[in-house]
Structure 1
Amino acid sequence: MNDPDLLALAAGLAQQAADTIMQIRSRGFSTVTKPDDSPVTEADHAAETLILHGLRAAASIPVIAEEEVAAGRSVQHDGCFWLVDPLDGTREFAAGRDDFTVNIGLVRDGHVVLGAVALPAHGELYLGLAGPDGTGRATRRDAAGEHAIHVRSPPADGLAVLASRHYANDERLRTWLGSQRVASVGNIGSAAKFVRVAEGRADLYPRLGRTMEWDTAAPQAVVEAAGGSVCRFDGQPLRYAKPGWENPFFICRGGP
C-alpha cells in the first residue's frame, strides 16, 4: 500500500469509529477512571477495537494505541508505526460537549507522514498527507463534500489563540501570550484545536501541559500538510518514538 492508500485506510476507519462513538453516545454510557486518573468509556474501547482490527488486517505495520498502552501492551517497531487515539477528549465526550476526536496517524523515522482526524459530533473528517520538499495536501470532509484547507496569515488585529479547556487559567500561558499580539483566546478540548488552526479558523495553539504521541501525530500531519507547523518551544519540530511516548511542550502555528 502506498501513502494515499494508507491515508484512505485511516480515513475510512476514523469515520467508522466516529459513527460507533456517536451511536454509543446516543444510547448512554458509563465512565471509569484509569490508574493515571484519566477517564475512559465504552466508546474509547469500542473505537479502538474497530481501528486496530482494520489496521492490522490491512497492512503489516505495528500499531501503538492509547488503551493498549494503558493496559501494558508493548509493541515493537522498526521506525514505521501507526499512532492511534480512538477518542481524544474523553472528558469532553463524557461531559456532553462536542470537541472530541478520533486520531489515526502514521510515523516513519520519527516524522509523522499522514493522518486522519474525525470530529464525530461535528460530522467532520480532516486528512493530511505529507508531500516531497515540505509540500502536502490537507482536506476536510463534511456534509458539503471534500474541500482543500490551508492555514491563514495572521490578521492585522492579532492572533486567534486556542488553548486547552483544562489549562484555561494557566498563568504560564498568560505570561507567554503577553509577548504576542492577541485578538482572542478560546478554550476547547482535544485535537480539535489543531484542525481549527489547519483550516484557518485560528492562528496559534501553545501547549504547556502533558500530551502523548497518539494525541498529536494525526493532527500534526493535518496541520503540516495545510502549511502550518508543530514545534517544541526550542523551535525544533515535534518528533515521534520518544521513550514513554510522552511529548514535550509544543506550539502549533498556522501562517508565519
Structure 2
Amino acid sequence: MLEILERSAIAAGRAILDIYNAGPAVAYKADASPVTDADHSAERIILADLAANFPDIPVVAEEAAAAGHVPDISGKLFFLVDPLDGTKEFVGRNSDFTVNIALIENGVPVTGVVYAPALGILYSASSRKARKALVVDDRIASPQADIGCRICGDRPVALTSRWHNSAETIAYLANHGITDYEAVGSSLKFCLLAEGLADIYPRFSRTMEWDTAAGDAILRSAGGETLTMDGTPLTYGKRNQRHDSDFANPWFVARGKP
C-alpha cells in the first residue's frame, strides 16, 4: 500500500508544480480559505489512484468534503486526503506546501505520506517505521532513510503555524519557558518533529483532520505523539460533534520524545 500512496502523492505533486509554475487561479471557499485549480487537479489524481487500487476503502478528501461528498466511514478503515496542504504557502510562492494521504484504522493514523513537491522531499510511514527520501524528476532518487524523534533537551525548539498562529500558542510557549521557535507552513511541522529537528508543535487554532492525519501518522511512527488538551491522543473520523463541524480537530500539542 505505501508504495502506491507514495507514487500517487508524487504524481499529484507534479500536477501541483505544473500549475505553480504557470500561475494558479485562486478562489475562496465559504470559510474564506483559498482553493486553487492545483487543489482540484491533485485531488482528482489521488482519488482515481485510491479507487483503482483500494475500491473497498472509503476516502474523505478535503475538496470533495467541502462540496458535500462524504462517504460512509462506519467501518474500521478509511483514507484522509489533503491534496494541497498549505494553499496560502502555494499562493504566496513559498515552498512549504504538501500533498497528504493517510490511512486511518479505528480512529488512529497508521499509514501516511507527506510529499513537499517544491522541496523534493517525501516523508512516509507504515508499520511504525518513518522514512524520508529525496525525489528528483518525479522519482525517489535516494535510499529511504529511517527517521526518528529526538529526546527533548533543556532548551526545546517549538514549531508554530506561519499563517494561523494565535495568542494562546504564544502564551503556551511562554508558560513552558520555550523561547526558541520557528514558523513553518503545512504538515511539514509534524515531519520536522519526526525527523528530530524540533521538539514540540502546539496548535491552538483551527485544523481539520485531513490537515493533520498524514503528518501525525509519520510522527507517531517516529516515536512521537499528538495529544489533545486533556492528554488523550488525537483521534480521526470525528462526526456529529456537538460544538464543531465534522472532521474538525480540537486544539492539540504534537511532540517528539518528551
Question: TM-score range, shorter-chain basis?
Answer: over 0.9
Identity of aligned pairs, percent?
Answer: 42
Query: Which aligned pairs between 1:1-256 and structure 2 lie closer than 5 A?
Result: 6-59=1-54, 60-77=56-73, 78-130=75-127, 136-142=128-134, 143-156=141-154, 158-168=155-165, 170-243=166-239, 244-256=246-258
1:16-37 CA-partner distances (Å, limit 9, x unpaired): 1111111111112211101111
Contact 2:224 2:255 in 1 (8 A): yes
Report the aligned-residue RMSD: 1.1
- The residue identity in structure 1 corresponding to 2:253 is I
| Displacement of 1:253 | 0.3
Report which of the two has the higher share of helix: 1
| Displacement of 1:183 | 4.5
Query: Which sits farther off after the overlay, 224-233 or 147-156?
Result: 147-156
Distance 2:169 2:37 in 1: 33
Structure 1 gaps of 5+ residues are 1-5, 131-135
Distance 1:183 1:144 in 2: 35
Structure 2 gaps of 5+ residues are 135-140, 240-245
- The residue identity in structure 2 corresponding to 1:245 is F
TM-score by length of 2: 0.92
Query: Which sits farther off after the overlay, 138-147 or 223-232?
Result: 138-147
| Displacement of 1:117 | 0.5
Q: Helix, strand or coil: the match of 2:118?
A: helix
Distance 2:164 2:115 in 1: 23
Distance 1:65 1:171 in 2: 30
Distance 1:16 1:206 in 2: 31
| Displacement of 1:72 | 1.0
Contact 1:79 1:241 in 2 (8 A): no
Q: Helix, strand or coil: the match of 1:194?
A: helix
Q: Helix, strand or coil: the match of 2:123?
A: strand
TM-score by length of 1: 0.92
Contact 2:25 2:36 in 1 (8 A): yes
In the alignment of these two chains, the number of paired residues is 244
